[in-house]
Structure 1
Amino acid sequence: MKTFLRRFENTRDLVILFGTWGIDDKAFSNLCTDNHDFILFYNYSADEPLILPEMKTYRRVTVIGWSLGVWAAEYYSRKLGIKPDLTIAINGTPVAADDKYGIPLKIFEATLNNISNYSMARFYLSLFGTRSLFEVNRAYIPTRTEKSLHDELRWLYNRMMEPVETGFVWDYALIGKEDSIFKASNLKSYWSMHPETRQIMVDAPHYLFGYWNSLEEMIRYVRRFRLSPFRNK
């Protein structure tokens, strides 16, 4: 697993983002401000020990899971001793390879078995939703080898097949109505079984971060919505 870290003096907030498959730090480095420290986890090809900043030094720790990163956040948070104050799941569920609640298993396996430059170009186009958004965000498209992409997705697939009860609770689930990777209907089906999580629907594709100028702005948007009355804090 790889880690991208940005730290500033005197910042009191920490944002931890568990990215999806196939990305690198370019997808988010432009969305960071100097008002918070930022940790991005990505390329989940192997379990590696990580050294995190002392959580107790922060006023607020926000954990964001995007796509397959929702599963990764649950899988890693306890291992890393992360105790978030706010949790946001974005266009994903903890059961990422699932016909009803995630990416249909046949599609997941077909993606794993057919990774190429051509298939990845199609994947990144689906990530942004439209050709115009793809062109606008071209500078943020990851630079990854086919081998690293295959190794990562194989590792994720194998781990996801191992059922794990984490006790992790998500405060908010942000759902893009135009998501073509995780269907909005599957996302809604999963999160509707978890009334403790407040669902927020947005007119956006799978990569919806470009609709805000920064992660900080996106978090402020989410916090405008009240927590679910079923959420015990």
Structure 2
Amino acid sequence: MKYKWINNQNNSNLILFFNGWGCDEHQVKHLKAGQQNVLMIYDYTCLHLDEKVLNEINNYPEVSIIAWSFGVWMAQYISKNCDLNINKAIAINGTLQPVHDKFGISKSIVQGTYEHLSERNLMKFQRRMVGGNEAWKQFEANKPQRTFENQKEELGAVIQHFDLMVDESSIYNKAIIGTTDLIFTCDNQKSYWKDKAEMKEINSPHFCFYRWNAWSEILI
């Protein structure tokens, strides 16, 4: 796993953001941090998170987790294996069974996406992910600054990671679910989070961060 500080000032509160597959900080740079530090975790080619950054995270008296898409599983994995001090955890358009016919994305679709991934197909996936031409224009202007080879390597790695058992005594107290999500369908998300977390439905596609102007708005 890689990490990048989006905001690192003299603030006592930390938002730990677990990004989705293939993404980086550019897609969320419009979100204002305010009085909170924001640390992004991304690129899950390797499941190891540097000990130095884990120590930094544990120095905060209050840590809030915002996890999106495949990042939902990753945040659960790190939190359960590294004993983080979590005040609040929000899952956005993802579940703890990300490759699953009823609770995530079907295995055939995920495997097919990997096997047939090309730069053209990646762009088509991203267009479906953001939903609509206006959102695509904004995303394309702030697209991930990662190589195609790196993005494909990450997808192959996470498919294997998801074969690992993850403790489903969930860290999440809230799940935000996009009703027009074409990646993790609304029905599959609701089926998973039922009786596991407070669910909040929003009229939004899989990538839904353009509806917010600040990180604090997500935590409400």
Pairwise TM-score range, normalised by the shorter structure: over 0.9
Tell me what 1:69 maps to: 71
Structure-2 residue corresponding to 1:92: 94
1:40 maps to 40
Q: Tell me the C-alpha RMSD between the 2 structures.
A: 1.5
1:97-123, Cα deviation, whole Å (9 max, x unpaired): 111100111110011111111011111
| Cross-structure match for 1:174 | 176
How big is each residue's C-alpha offset from its partner over 1:63-97, in whole Å with a ceiling of 9 and x where there is no partner? Answer: 11101011101111233331210010000001101
Report the counterpart of residue 78 of structure 1 in structure 2. 80
Shift of 1:175: 0.2
Q: TM-score, normalised by structure 2?
A: 0.92
173-182 or 156-165, larger mean C-alpha shift: 156-165
CA contact (8 A) 2:14 2:60 kept: no
The CA deviation at 1:46 is: 1.4
C-alpha deviation, 1:196, in angstroms: 4.1
Q: Which residue of 2 aligns with 1:57?
A: 60
Which residue is equivalent to 1:201?
A: 201
> Which runs of structure 1 show a deviation greater than 4 angstroms over 4 or more consecutive aligned residues?
none
Per the normalisation by structure 1, the TM-score is 0.87
Q: Aligned AA for 1:210?
A: Y
CA contact (8 A) 1:95 1:101 kept: yes
Q: Which amino acid aligns with 1:204?
A: S
Q: Distance in 2 between matches of 1:186 and 1:129?
A: 19
Aligned residues: 216
Deviations 1:193-221, CA, capped at 9 Å, x for gaps:
xx24100000011111110101112212x
RCO greater where, 1 or 2, for CA within 8 Å and sep 6 or more?
Answer: 2
Give distance in 2, aligned partners of 1:198 and 1:30.
Answer: 27
Q: What are the ranges of 5 or more consecutive residues in structure 1 without an aligned counterpart?
A: 221-233
**Is contact 1:65-1:90 (8 Å) kept?**
yes
